[in-house]
Amino acid sequence: MIERDVGKRIQGLRKKKKLTQAELAERLGLSTNHMSALERGQYNIKLELLVHIMNELECTADDLFCDSIKCGYKNKTSRLNDQIEKLPQDEQDRLFEIIEAFIKTSRKR
């Protein structure tokens, strides 16, 4: 199940970058048939190849595993956003001021 979902995401990211299967396969040192099988979820992807794929597609693990990993940073951000939206407006404003101040001080380091 995970292999198929990840394969579909790889395919979607590849198409977004306007790459053919053959072009991505060549960059990864794979045959087009192997690339096709990965996108269909027919193989478990080794970690080294997965990192190479993420680097070629300029994506994160969250982009590939967004529905499979519970604690990715995008998932955390989304959960925090849901919690913030439930706060009264004045508390939201105060929280955003705190976050903005934190970001400004972080950039100075």
77: containing domain: 73-108
Same domain? 103 vs 60: no
Same domain? 88 vs 51: no
pLDDT at 82: 86
Same domain? 61 vs 87: no
Same domain? 47 vs 96: no
Same domain? 54 vs 21: yes
Q: Give 19-86 as a DSSP string.
A: --HHHHHHHHT--HHHHHHHHTT-SPPPHHHHHHHHHHHT--HHHHHTTT-SS-HHHHHHHHHHHHHT
Same domain? 35 vs 51: yes
Same domain? 53 vs 78: no
**CB of 57 closer than 8 Å to CB of 21:** no
What torsion, rounded to 10 degrees, do the Cα atoms 85, 88, 91, 96 define?
30
pLDDT of residue 4 exceeding 70, the answer is: yes
> Token pair of 40, please?
């269909």
How many domains does one find in the chain? 2
Taking residue 58's Cβ as centre, other Cβ atoms within 10 Å add up to 10
Q: What is the pLDDT of residues 7-16, one digit of tens each?
A: 999 999 999 9
Same domain? 60 vs 78: no
Same domain? 81 vs 52: no
Q: What is the pLDDT of residues 29-81, one digit of tens each?
A: 999 999 999 999 998 899 999 999 999 999 988 888 877 776 666 667 877 88
